[in-house]
Chain A
Amino acid sequence: MFKDGEHLIRLAAVFALGLAAFVILRAAVVPRSFGQYGHYRGAAIAEIASRPIALAGHVTCESCHSDIADQKKLGKHVVVACEACHGALAAHAEDPTSVQPKKLDTAVVCARCHEANSAKPKWFPQVATADHSGGIACDTCHQPHRPKIETGKSETAKTEAEGKK
Chain B
Amino acid sequence: MQIPVQGFMYPNEVELQWSILIVLYPYITGLVAGAFILASLERVFRVEAVKPTYRLALLTALAFLLVAPLPLQLHLGHPERSFEMYMTPHRSSAMAMFGFVYLWYLMAVLLLEIWLDYRRDIVLRSQTGTGWKRGVYRLLTLGSSNVSERSLRIDERLGYFITLIGIPSAFLLHGYVGFIFGSVKANPWWSSPLMPIVFLFSAMVSGISAVMLLYMFSTWVRGQRIDMRCLDTVARYLLYTFIIDFSLEMLDLLQRIYEADESFRSLDFMVHTRLWTSQVIIQILLGTVTPIALISLTQVLRCSDTARKQIYAVAGSLTMVGIFAMRWNVVIGGQLFSKSFLGYTSYKMGFATREGLLPAIVLMILPFIILWVLVKLLPPWPESASLSESDAVAVHATS
A interface residues, Cβ below 8 angstroms from B: 3-8, 10-11, 14-15, 22, 25-26, 29-30, 34-35, 39, 117-121
Contacts and interface: CB of A to CB of B under 8 A. Distances in A.
Given A5-B154, A8-B158, A117-B11, A29 B142 contact: no
Contacts of B144: 6-7, 10
Shortest 4 CB-CB distances between A and B: which pairs? Answer: A7-B144, A4-B151, A10-B142, A118-B5
B90 interface: yes
B87 A26 contact: yes
A8 B154 contact: yes
Contact of B88 (A11, A14, A34, A120): A34
Nearest to B92: A39
A119 B150 contact: no
Interface string B106-147: 010000100100010000000000000000000001111010
Nearest to A22: B86
A121 B8 CA distance: 8
A30 B148 contact: no
Given A6-B151, A119-B9, 12 more contacts: A4-B154, A6-B144, A11-B112, A14-B142, A22-B86, A30-B88, A118-B5, A119-B5, A119-B8, A119-B13, A120-B11, A121-B8
A30 B107 CA distance: 23
B10 interface: yes
Contacts of A34: 88
Given A4-B150, A7-B146, A118-B5, A29 B87 contact: yes
B205 interface: no
Contacts of A117: 11, 14
Contacts of B87: 25-26, 29-30
Interface string B266-289: 000000000000000000000000
Contacts of A35: 88
A160 B261 CA distance: 48
Given A117-B14, A118-B9, A119-B10, A7 B142 contact: yes
Given A26-B87, A118-B9, A4 B146 contact: yes
A5 B9 contact: no
Contacts of A119: 5, 8-11, 13-14
Contacts of B88: 30, 34-35, 39
A31 to B, nearest CB: 9
26 contacts: A3-B146, A5-B151, A5-B154, A6-B144, A7-B142, A7-B151, A10-B142, A11-B112, A11-B115, A11-B142, A14-B142, A15-B107, A22-B86, A25-B87, A30-B87, A34-B88, A35-B88, A39-B90, A117-B14, A118-B8, A119-B8, A119-B9, A119-B10, A119-B11, A119-B13, A121-B8
B18 to A, nearest CB: 18
Nearest to A31: B88
A35 B90 CA distance: 11
Contacts of A5: 151, 154
A1 B94 CA distance: 43
A11 B122 CA distance: 14
B307 to A, nearest CB: 47
Contacts of B90: 39
Nearest to A122: B8
A3 B107 CA distance: 25
A34 B37 CA distance: 40
A44 to B, nearest CB: 13
B6 to A, nearest CB: 9
B14 A118 contact: yes
Contacts of B142: 7, 10-11, 14
